[in-house]
Structure 1
């Protein structure tokens, strides 16, 4: 009986996002993880708006990307996907006992502790910038971001990576640190060890391949009426 080829890993991504979001959409995190462990994948590109339609909400109930499908495994949320990839193939778990637990700890720290104030900044300065509370709130958000960066900086210290060798926790933490752009880029520069840490991650060949593929996917048209300043 001839061998039946298994279906490739499939992820979803947008076919267009505004310029400020390119390099930050979370399919990049999943692409990077897949490149690190050497797993092939294909991408299903979604025109803007279709992510909110019932067909995609069956895969992602909140109408977002990415999603991940590998045979019977169907996942959403970039942190869960990256941890699954780390389990699936070698390259994203540190050596030694309890490797997965230590990796998961840093994945959750990136998403649940470091990223929230950065998301608050994006909401206040981009998505709800026209609201009367936006400008008065920004100094407090900057303070919270700076506090988290200081805590992370002290923990990283002079180490190259969070757990001695590059792991999924570093991938996710560096992806979060990439949100320090524009008016808050100066906050990262206050912590040279974090700035160098981010540079080390971005210098990895797997990241370069993932970023190139991520950017090359933006071939769709913007929504009708969209103008970019």
Structure 2
């Protein structure tokens, strides 16, 4: 049986927190289709590479962002027959996040690369709005039942800094009492350093500093506050 040809691509939803806001990395396409439209970084998988290798390569080629030590995982596969006007393209989408990621620089077929706050996104090419919505929900859900919020902070950190991650990702703050109970009551979530951070601007008591622990799961979950 003869099968029609199709291409395999990767797309990346890369998140970081900048000035207390959750941001995603987007590129303005410099070529057709969708020239001048914003999109997730991505491109076609080469014959000699796997999807993860292609994801890191495309990220660097289009944005100059180097491979980083934060979290990367496959999101899902997007395979609608008409998702790309050029040919049949199946995309293996990835979601990644890390603290303090650098300013990008456009390369390859990208005209511009920049961070966008997820609360003020432009229109996106292809089916990237759907991919981004799925990626955002994946990250928000992960923060409920795992300790992956720690991937958004640099060590050592304070509990207010960690709580600010939940506020940025969820779009609303975690209940303070519940947050402290979950973080301090989950064995291995955080490990105190025995030191305190700098004094606050209000002159209050210096906050304790913590390192990441080895726990990966929060049980029961720390559920998002309702709207």
> Structure 2 length as normaliser, TM-score?
0.26
**Greater radius of gyration (CA):** 2
Greater percentage in strand = 2
> Structure 1 length as normaliser, TM-score?
0.26
